[in-house]
Amino acid sequence: MRPGGRRAYAVVLMVGVLGAPGCGVQDSPEVAQEPTPSEATTTISKAPAKRPPLDRTELDAHLAALSSDDRALVDHYLEVERDENLGEGTWVVTAPLTVEEAKRRLLGLDARPMSAAERERMGFEKSAYTFVQVGDGVVAYEDTGFADPPKRLLAALSEDGAVSAVATDNIEAMTRFGYARDGKVVYDNYEYAFEDDLDDIPLEVRDLARLARVDPKGPMVETASWSAVALAMSEKVTGVRAVRPGWETGDWYVVPVPWGVSEDY
């Protein structure tokens, strides 16, 4: 869950300076009388009651049931999330591909680099991707979480025997996870944590997805971070570890916001 806003309180103290020494006779100013204890009203601000922690019995059971490889994956992303090393954004990972191949499949031949000046004044209507080689795969990253690619491009990234995946996290807590293999989308959901039926999630990532699933018909219970689980599933199917490149990392290429959701829905 994400933190809400903070309530601020201000106290204003007013000091009146009355009268001054001088010649002649001055009218005595009226002095406000202090209220007696019986007249005074004391307001005591109560701190908001702390909500009890959500039940994590199911989550702990699901974590304990994971294979050692799956547990290592999710533990990694939960740790980097706690350390705030990733933050919000869209991660598109694919393998085996080079940066040039991934850029061409995702953005086309007319990909437009974003200038430094354009980056400084970038508004809400566009974002930018950069590409990093990680082993035999590629991480493509943008930092809003709203510029994830349409399904057709997720599929295109996986053509000719490759595998691609997408995971998002944004300020609205909208978390997409999807992946494609050999040119076909295997699974894709813009709110995968709210999947109606867990059996609709492919078996190879189902145990991980179970950690984040919210059952709308059941009681509210603790879940693992939706974005951390999405990144763990992305690495499981592609073998590519998600990283967050800095602005100083290579070229950045302009894309619209929103991107995939405006085409797919």
pLDDT tens, 2-41?
333 222 323 322 333 334 444 344 444 455 555 555 555 5
Q: What is the pLDDT of residues 64-91, one digit of tens each?
A: 999 999 999 999 999 998 887 788 999 9
- 50 located within any domain: no
Lowest mean pLDDT among 118-127, 159-168, 228-237: 118-127
CA distance 110 to 107: 7
Domain presence at residue 167: yes
Q: Using an 8 Å Cβ cutoff, are 29 and 18 in contact?
A: yes
Does residue 257 belong to any structural domain of this protein? yes
What is the rounded average pLDDT for all residues in the chain? 84
Position 264 pLDDT exceeds 60: yes
Tokens representing 11 are: 């106290």
CB 68 within 8 A of CB 76: no
Question: Is a pLDDT exceeding 90 seen at residue 108?
Answer: yes
Count how many domains the chain has: 1
Residue 194 lies in a domain: yes
Taking alpha carbons only, the member of 90, 225, 243, 101 closest to residue 167 is 90
Is residue 29 assigned to a domain? no
Residue 1: pLDDT band with limits 50, 70, 90: very low
pTM: 0.79
| Mean pLDDT for the stretch of residues 165-185 | 96
What pLDDT is attached to residue 4? 32
Q: What confidence tens digit (pLDDT) does each residue in 192-212 have?
A: 999 999 999 999 999 999 999
Question: Which is more confident, 172 or 30?
Answer: 172
Q: Is there a domain that residue 84 lies in?
A: yes
pLDDT (0 to 100) of residue 34: 57
Q: Is residue 206 part of a domain?
A: yes
Mean pLDDT of 232-259: 92
Q: Which position has the higher pLDDT, 262 or 90?
A: 90
Q: To which H or E segment does residue 237 belong?
A: helix 226-238
Q: Is residue 138 part of a domain?
A: yes
Distance of CA 14 to the CA centre of its chain: 45
The confidence score (pLDDT) of residue 19 equals: 41
- With a cut of 90, say whether residue 160 has pLDDT above it: yes
Higher-confidence residue: 10 or 224? Answer: 224
Check residue 241 and give its pLDDT.
97
Residue percentage of the chain with pLDDT more than 70? 82
Report residue 116's pLDDT band, with 50, 70 and 90 as the boundaries. Answer: confident
Q: Is the model more confident about 43 or about 194?
A: 194
Domain extent, residue 76, equals 57-264
Beta bridge partners of 166: 92, 178
